[in-house]
């Protein structure tokens, strides 16, 4: 009997140890708030003068995720992540894909040599933006389209009031993440590197829908620097590229951020029907006046100042300058200023308020569906769990 009890105790100890080596975490964010807009009137279409609405994913996209790790011994771990986007105002998926775990679905291994993950994952530039190295707002405002830009109507446009986000985290253009991706990441000392390669998965064509991205970052504590680039192809082999570089530096309670981002797309790149480029008038196809064989280009300059007034109160003032160019078309410009206030009720719950103003000029100036000026205000709650 004594031997049996000892054996059972030993088995229980082994089972407890094995259980301690594995863990699964449920996590997520819920973000929703009220927005009011007052648009400059340039036509008789008064329906676009102003509007009030409830929006989800203002500072952060709402999501529900599961992640787990197993200690395999010798410093080697197995990891997985499953993450789905949620529209907090309706409970529906926030993504345009039909995938259940549309934001992230990966499995991989990690160790002292870094980490390798397989599946649907983020491209390198998105990670720099989320870390606030190239964007003071951390890629916020995915819920708000810049309707002052011609060809960028609220329902179809993909240029947000935060154009840095529109470059490195554009869902409709596919710059945020990729399916069938192999990703390697590592941090040695203060230097971090991310390399990704997405296999297109198109039958009989090894080049179609492939994408490659990479980033290099230096994390210096009081200052951080980073650069990232991406190239991807559609099913016809037409290309979209972006490059982004920036950094931030901390001065006491203030942090100054600055970056430059550039996106280029071939005229016939898939998604061209919704890729806003400037024309002299609004057209159903914004690519209409780009020269045959030409490319459209977005150039984004950004500077932002973050001030931590107290551990619970933060203010972010950001300026974005967007230039829309293309072979054979008129260059247009659009500027946006945002002022964000965040009050932390706890470590997990924030109240926020945002005031933003956008204007467009020259070839980018809207001649329908609103106007060339737009002022907005939104306030909401973000809870992290």
The gap between the terminal CA atoms of the chain, to the nearest Å, is 47
**Counts for the chain of helices (H) and strands (E), in that order:** 3, 17
Q: Which residue has the higher pLDDT, 72 or 369?
A: 72
What per-residue confidence (pLDDT) applies to 381? 98
Q: Which residue has the higher pLDDT, 42 or 140?
A: 140
Q: What is the pLDDT of residues 192-250, one digit of tens each?
A: 999 999 987 777 676 778 999 999 999 999 999 999 999 998 888 888 899 999 999 99
Q: What is the pLDDT of residues 61-106, one digit of tens each?
A: 999 999 999 999 999 999 999 999 999 999 888 766 678 899 999 9
CA distance 268 to 286: 11
Q: What is the pLDDT of residues 6-20, one digit of tens each?
A: 433 443 333 344 444
What's the number of CA atoms in the CB half-sphere (13 Å) around residue 291? 10
Q: Is the pLDDT of residue 290 over 60?
A: no
Give the pLDDT band (50/70/90) at residue 360.
Answer: confident
Contacts of 375 (CB under 8 A, 6+ apart): 37, 38, 39, 355, 356, 357, 358
Q: Is the pLDDT of residue 174 over 50?
A: yes
CA distance 157 to 138: 21
CA distance 366 to 165: 21
| Residue 194 in tokens | 């991310």
């Amino acid at each position: 009997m004594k031997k049996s009890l000892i054996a059972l105790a030993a088995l229980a100890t082994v089972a407890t140890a094995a259980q301690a080596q594995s863990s699964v975490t449920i996590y997520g964010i819920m973000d929703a708030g009220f927005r009011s807009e007052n648009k400059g009137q340039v036509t008789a279409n008064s329906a676009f003068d102003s509007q009030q609405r409830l929006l989800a994913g203002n500072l952060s996209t709402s999501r529900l995720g599961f992640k787990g790790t197993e200690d395999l011994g010798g410093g080697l771990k197995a990891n997985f992540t499953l993450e789905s986007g949620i529209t907090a105002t309706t409970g529906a998926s926030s993504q345009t894909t039909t995938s259940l775990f549309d934001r992230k679905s990966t499995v991989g291994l990690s160790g002292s040599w870094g980490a390798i993950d397989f599946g649907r994952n983020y491209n390198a530039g998105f990670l720099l933006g989320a870390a606030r190295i190239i964007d003071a707002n951390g890629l916020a405002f995915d819920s708000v389209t810049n309707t002052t830009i011609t060809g960028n109507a609220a329902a179809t446009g993909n240029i947000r009031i935060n154009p840095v986000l529109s470059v490195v985290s554009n869902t409709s253009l596919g710059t945020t993440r990729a399916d069938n991706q192999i990703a390697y990441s590592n941090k040695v000392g203060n230097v971090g590197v991310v390399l990704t390669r997405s296999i297109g998965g198109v039958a009989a064509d090894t080049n179609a829908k492939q994408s490659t991205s990479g980033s290099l970052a230096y994390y210096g504590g009081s200052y951080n620097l980073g650069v990232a680039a991406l190239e991807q192809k559609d099913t016809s082999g037409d290309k979209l590229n972006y490059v982004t570089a920036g950094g931030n530096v901390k001065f006491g309670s203030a942090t100054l951020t600055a970056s430059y981002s550039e996106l280029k797309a071939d005229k016939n790149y898939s998604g061209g029907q919704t890729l806003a480029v400037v024309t002299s008038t609004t057209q159903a196809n914004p690519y209409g006046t780009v020269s045959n064989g030409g490319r459209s280009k977005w150039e984004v300059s950004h500077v932002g100042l973050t001030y931590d007034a107290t551990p619970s109160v933060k203010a972010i003032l950001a300026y974005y300058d967007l230039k829309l160019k293309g072979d054979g078309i008129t260059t247009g410009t659009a500027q946006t200023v945002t002022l964000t206030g965040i009050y932390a009720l706890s470590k997990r719950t924030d109240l926020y308020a945002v005031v933003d103003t956008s204007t467009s000029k020259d070839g980018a100036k809207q001649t329908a569906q609103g106007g060339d000026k737009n002022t907005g205000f939104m306030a909401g709650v973000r809870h992290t769990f």
